[in-house]
Amino acid sequence: MFRADHVKDDDSVVRKARAIIGALDTPFGRDGLPVSLGVSIGIASYPNDGKKVSSLLKSADSAMYLAKSGGKNRFAYASDLKQIEAV
């Protein structure tokens, strides 16, 4: 979760999400076997996507499932859900 007024621009959020995905996608060894992780990230911002922690977490969780539906190693904004609902 991030506060909308603490973020310089959407590009900084995108860069951070991609950095997290890249760091976790880098294979590492475990008992001699290569292991890599996939990650889906849901992004929610205060106060646009919720004013309480519980509503922000719900928005981020829903956005994460939207990201998962697109495949491995993706991220989605909670605002993307609002656009889908409006269509």
Choose between 26 and 85: higher pLDDT.
26
Q: What pLDDT was estimated at residue 9?
A: 73
Q: Can you read off the two tokens belonging to residue 9? A: 């621009």
Q: What is the pTM of this model?
A: 0.76
For the chain, the domains span: 2-86
CA angle 61, 67, 68 (to 5 degrees): 90
pLDDT per residue as tens digits for the range 4-49: 556 677 788 888 899 999 888 888 887 888 888 889 999 998 888 9
Q: Are 74 and 42 in contact (CB under 8 A)?
A: no
pLDDT per residue as tens digits for the range 40-83: 999 998 888 999 999 999 999 999 999 999 988 999 999 877 66
Q: What pLDDT was estimated at residue 32?
A: 86
For residues 44 and 28, give the distance between their C-alpha atoms in angstroms, rounded to a whole number. 30
For residues 7 and 65, give the distance between their C-alpha atoms in angstroms, rounded to a whole number. 23
